[in-house]
Amino acid sequence: MSPFVATAATPYLPLTRPTIDEETIAGVADVLRSGWITSGPNVKALEAKLSEYCGGRPVRVFNSGTCTMEIALRIAGVGPGHEVITTPLSWVATSHVILAVGARPVFVDIDPVTRNIDVNRIEAAITPATRAIMPVDLAGLPVDRAPLYAIAKKHHLRVVEDAAQSYGTTWNGKRIGAIGDFVSFSFHPNKNVTTIEGGALVMNTEVEAKLAEQYRLQGVVRSGFDGMEVEIVGGKFNLTDVAARVGLGQLPRIDEFNGKRRELARAYFELFARPAVRALGWGLPVADFQQTNWHMFQVVLPEARLTIKRAEVMAKLHAAGIGTGVHYPAIHLFAVYRRLGWKDGDFPLAEAICRSILTLPLFPTMTRADAERVVDTLAEIVSAHLHP
C-alpha cells in the first residue's frame, strides 16, 4: 500500500479536528502569563457558564469525562457487591468506572436502529444488587429518557447519564444536562466542544457538588488559612485554568458547531441515497435533525457481502487520504471482561454492529466536497470488493 501524500489540492482528511479560534488562543496566552495556570478563576467561570447552560443545576469540571462517571457512582453510593446496568456498545471507560468502584457492570443489548441501549430490555436485567443505570447517547443520539427514568423511579435506581458525546443534544425539547439525574459530559478534543482534555458532571444538589469537589482533589476540605480535613479518599481530577480558558472560548460556539455538523450529516445522507451507492447495502444512523448534535456519522458496512475486512477498508481509505475510526468494539469481548464471564454471542445485536461499524470524518471545518470525497471513495472500495 502506497502511503498517501497530502498536497495543497488534496490534503489528508482526518476523522476529526477541533476548531479553536484566535481569540481563544490569545486568551490561553493570557492565562499562561498570569502565573495562575492550575484550577482558578477560569475554572469557576467555566462552571458558571455550564450551570447556566444546564438550567442552573450545579456543575463541576474535571480533567476527564471518565472520572466524572466514577465520581457520580461514588456519590450515589455504588460500590462492592452492587450492579450497574449499561450498554456493551460504548467506549470502554463507561464500564471501567463501574469496576473502579468495585461494582459489576451488567450489559444489556442494544436497539439495532438507534444503537443505544434497548430500554425495553433493562427491566429484565435488574436484580436486588442493581443500584444504577448508565445509558450512553451514542454519536449524540439521545436515549429515550421517558421509559428509562420510569424504570429507574420504579426500582429506586440512580441514573448516571454517559452524555460524553451529547453536549448540545436535546431530548423532548430540553437540553441534555438540564434534566435527569447525574449527567457526565466529555470535552476531549474529538468532542463537539473541547477543553483539550476534560469533562463536567451535572448534579442535583449543592451537597452532591461539595462531595464531588472532595473527590476531585484528594478528599480535602479547607477552612481558614490553615485548616484542612480529609474525610474521604479522593483523587487528583481537577481541571487547569489553561484548559478551562479553551472551554470558555468553545461554549458560545456550540450552536454554530452543531449547525455545521448537521449540514454535513444531511450531505452524507443525500450522498448515500444516490441509487448506485444505496444499492451497496449500508446501515445508516437514525436521521434525527431535531435533537442529535451529530457528534459522529457512523455507517455499518455490508459485512456479509464484502471479500475484505473492515480494517482493510480503513487502510484503503487511509491510503486515499481519508481518516476513519471504530466506535466501538464490543466492550464485553475485551479480555478483562471475558475473564468476568462474558463471551461471544451474549449480545448478538451489539456484536453485529460492532464488527462492521465505521465512523466517517465529521467536523465543523469540513465541506460538502469533503463528504463527497469520503462517500465516493468508500463506495468505490466496497464496490470493488463484493462477493460475486
Indicate which residues carry an active-site annotation: 191
Spell out the residues 6+ positions from residue 260 whose beta carbon is closer than 8 angstroms to its own.
Answer: 364, 365, 366
Count how many Cα atoms sit within 13 Å of the Cα of residue 7 in the half-sphere of its side chain.
3
98's enclosing H/E stretch is: helix 93-100
Spell out the residues 6+ positions from residue 380 whose beta carbon is closer than 8 angstroms to its own.
Answer: none
**Distance (Å, whole) CA 163 – CA 8:** 37
**Distance (Å, whole) CA 75 – CA 73:** 5
Cβ–Cβ contacts within 10 Å for residue 99, how many? Answer: 15
CB of 110 closer than 8 Å to CB of 117: yes
**Distance (Å, whole) CA 236 – CA 276:** 53
CB of 264 closer than 8 Å to CB of 366: yes
**Burial readout 109-129 (b: 16 or more C-beta within 10 A, e: otherwise):** bbbeebbbbbbeebeebbeee
Cβ–Cβ contacts within 10 Å for residue 246, how many? Answer: 27
Three-class secondary structure of residue 322 per DSSP: strand
Nine-digit cell string for 339: 475473564
Sign of the alpha-carbon dihedral angle for 278, 279, 284, 289: positive
CB of 112 closer than 8 Å to CB of 124: no
**Distance (Å, whole) CA 22 – CA 251:** 15
Spell out the residues 6+ positions from residue 169 whose beta carbon is closer than 8 angstroms to its own.
Answer: 137, 140, 141, 142, 163, 175, 176, 291, 292, 293
